[in-house]
A and B are shown apart, each in its own frame.
Chain A
Amino acid sequence: MVNDLVVDLSRLQFAATALYHFMFVPLTLGLTVLLATMETVYVVTGRTIYREMTQFWSKLLLINFALGVATGLTMEFQFGTNWSYYSSFVGDTFGTPLAIEGLMAFFMESTFIGLMVFGWERLSKAQHLFVTYLVALGSNLSALWILVANSFMQHPQGASFNPVTMRMELDSFFLLFFNSDAQSKFVHTSLAGFVTAAVFMCSISAFYMLRGRHLDFARRSFRIAALFGMLGTAGTLTLGDSLGYFAARVQPTKLVAMEALWKTEAPPIAFNVIAFPSQSEQRNLWAIQIPGMLSLLVTHSLDQEVAAADQLVEQAKGRIRNGVPAVQAMMALSADPTDANALAQFNAHRADVGYGLLVQRYAPDGDLTRITDADVDRAALDTLPEVWIIFWAFRAMVGFGVLMLGYFVLASMLTLSNKVHRLRWFQWASLLMLPAPYIACEAGWIVAEMGRQPWTVYEVLPTWLSASTHSVTYMAFSVAGFVLLYTIFAIIEVYLMVHFIRKGPDDGAPPGASPHASAVPAY
Chain B
Amino acid sequence: MEIYLALKIIWWLLLGVLLMGISIMVGMDMGVGTLLRHVGRTDSERRVAINVIAPHWDGNQVWFVLGGGAIFAAWPLVYATAFSGLYVVMLLLLWSMIVRPLAFEYRSKRESPTWRNNWDWCLFLSGFLPMLVFGAAVGNMLQGVPFHFDWRLTSYYTGSFIALFNPFAILCGAMAVSMSVYMGGAILTNATDGPVQERARRAAMLAGILAMVLFTIGGLWLTRLEGYMLVSGPDPALAQTPLHQSVERAAGHWLTNYNNHPVLWAAPALGYIGALLGVLSLNARRPLFAWWFGALAWIGIIATVGAAMFPFMMPSSTNPSHSLTIWNAGSSERTLSWMLGFTLIFMPLILWYTSWAFWVMRGKVDKAHVDSSEHAL
- Bound CA–CA A478/B91 (angstroms): 7
A521 near B: Cβ within 8 Å?
yes
- Bound CA–CA A81/B102 (angstroms): 23
Contact with B along A377-409 (1 / 0, CB 8 A): 000000000000000000000000000000000
B50-A523 in contact (CB<8A): yes
Contacts of A330 in B (CB 8 A): 152
On whether A112 and B84 interact (CB within 8 A), knowing A118-B54, A334-B241, A492-B102, the answer reads: no
B102-A523 in contact (CB<8A): no
A115-B55 in contact (CB<8A): yes
A66-B105 in contact (CB<8A): yes
Contacts of A99 in B (CB 8 A): 66, 69-70, 72-74, 339, 342
- Bound CA–CA A496/B74 (angstroms): 40
B261 near A: Cβ within 8 Å?
no
B153-A95 in contact (CB<8A): no
B374-A92 in contact (CB<8A): no
B151-A102 in contact (CB<8A): no
- CB-contact partner of A103 in B74, B77, B332, B347, under 8 A: B347
The A480-508 residues at the B interface (CB cut-off 8 A) are: 481, 485, 489, 492, 496, 499-500, 506
Contact with A along B91-134 (1 / 0, CB 8 A): 10011011111101111111000000000000000000000000
B334-A106 in contact (CB<8A): no
B151-A335 in contact (CB<8A): yes
- CB-contact partner of B81 in A88, A112, A165, under 8 A: A88
The B54-104 residues at the A interface (CB cut-off 8 A) are: 54-59, 61-62, 64-66, 68-70, 72-74, 76-77, 79-84, 87-88, 90-91, 94-95, 97-102, 104
- Bound CA–CA A14/B357 (angstroms): 35
B68-A122 in contact (CB<8A): no
On whether A107 and B332 interact (CB within 8 A), knowing A88-B155, A522-B47, the answer reads: no
B338-A485 in contact (CB<8A): no
B1 near A: Cβ within 8 Å?
no
Contact with B along A69-113 (1 / 0, CB 8 A): 111111011011110111111111111101111111011101111
A117 near B: Cβ within 8 Å?
yes
- Bound CA–CA A65/B51 (angstroms): 18
A114 near B: Cβ within 8 Å?
yes
- CB-contact partner of A111 in B82, B240, B347, B353, under 8 A: B353
How many A-B Cβ pairs are below 8 Å? Answer: 282
Q: How large is the interface on B (under 10, 10 to 19, 20 to 34, 35 or more residues)?
A: 35 or more
On whether A468 and B70 interact (CB within 8 A), knowing A95-B79, A111-B353, the answer reads: no
Stretch of B224-232, B307-315, B365-373 with 4 or more beta carbons under 8 angstroms from chain A: B365-373
A81-B91 in contact (CB<8A): yes
Chain A nearest CB, measured from B178 CB (Å) = 24
B108-A522 in contact (CB<8A): yes
B221 near A: Cβ within 8 Å?
no
On whether A84 and B83 interact (CB within 8 A), knowing A485-B95, A492-B102, the answer reads: yes
Q: How large is the interface on A (under 10, 10 to 19, 20 to 34, 35 or more residues)?
A: 35 or more
Contacts of B74 in A (CB 8 A): 95, 99
B361 near A: Cβ within 8 Å?
yes
A19 near B: Cβ within 8 Å?
no
A334-B69 in contact (CB<8A): no
Contact with A along B239-271 (1 / 0, CB 8 A): 111011000000000000000000000000000
A63 near B: Cβ within 8 Å?
yes
A73-B343 in contact (CB<8A): no
B41 near A: Cβ within 8 Å?
no
- In chain A, what residue has the closest Cβ to B58? A110
A115-B361 in contact (CB<8A): yes
- Bound CA–CA A84/B76 (angstroms): 9
A521-B153 in contact (CB<8A): no
Chain B nearest CB, measured from A439 CB (Å) = 25
- Bound CA–CA A477/B109 (angstroms): 32
B354 near A: Cβ within 8 Å?
yes
B241-A107 in contact (CB<8A): no
A425 near B: Cβ within 8 Å?
no
- Bound CA–CA A212/B59 (angstroms): 40
Chain B nearest CB, measured from A133 CB (Å) = 14
Contacts of B244 in A (CB 8 A): 337
Chain A nearest CB, measured from B321 CB (Å) = 14
On whether A84 and B361 interact (CB within 8 A), knowing A98-B72, A114-B59, the answer reads: no
- Bound CA–CA A104/B56 (angstroms): 17
- In chain B, what residue has the closest Cβ to A113? B58
B38 near A: Cβ within 8 Å?
no
A375 near B: Cβ within 8 Å?
no
Contacts of A87 in B (CB 8 A): 72, 76, 79-80
A63-B106 in contact (CB<8A): yes
Chain A nearest CB, measured from B223 CB (Å) = 32
- In chain B, what residue has the closest Cβ to A169? B332
A317 near B: Cβ within 8 Å?
no
A119-B338 in contact (CB<8A): no
Chain B nearest CB, measured from A65 CB (Å) = 8
Contacts of B88 in A (CB 8 A): 474, 477-478
Could you pull out 24 A-B pairs where Cβ atoms are within 8 angstroms? A74-B94, A74-B98, A76-B68, A85-B154, A87-B72, A92-B331, A95-B69, A95-B331, A98-B69, A98-B73, A99-B342, A102-B68, A106-B65, A110-B59, A112-B59, A114-B59, A118-B361, A119-B361, A164-B241, A169-B332, A169-B335, A173-B338, A478-B87, A521-B375
Given contacts A468-B84, A523-B107, 10 further A-B contacts (CB under 8 A): A73-B98, A91-B331, A92-B331, A104-B346, A111-B354, A115-B360, A169-B335, A331-B151, A500-B109, A521-B374
Which are the 10 A-B pairs with shortest beta-carbon distances? A91-B76, A80-B83, A95-B73, A111-B59, A95-B72, A102-B66, A114-B55, A84-B84, A66-B105, A522-B373
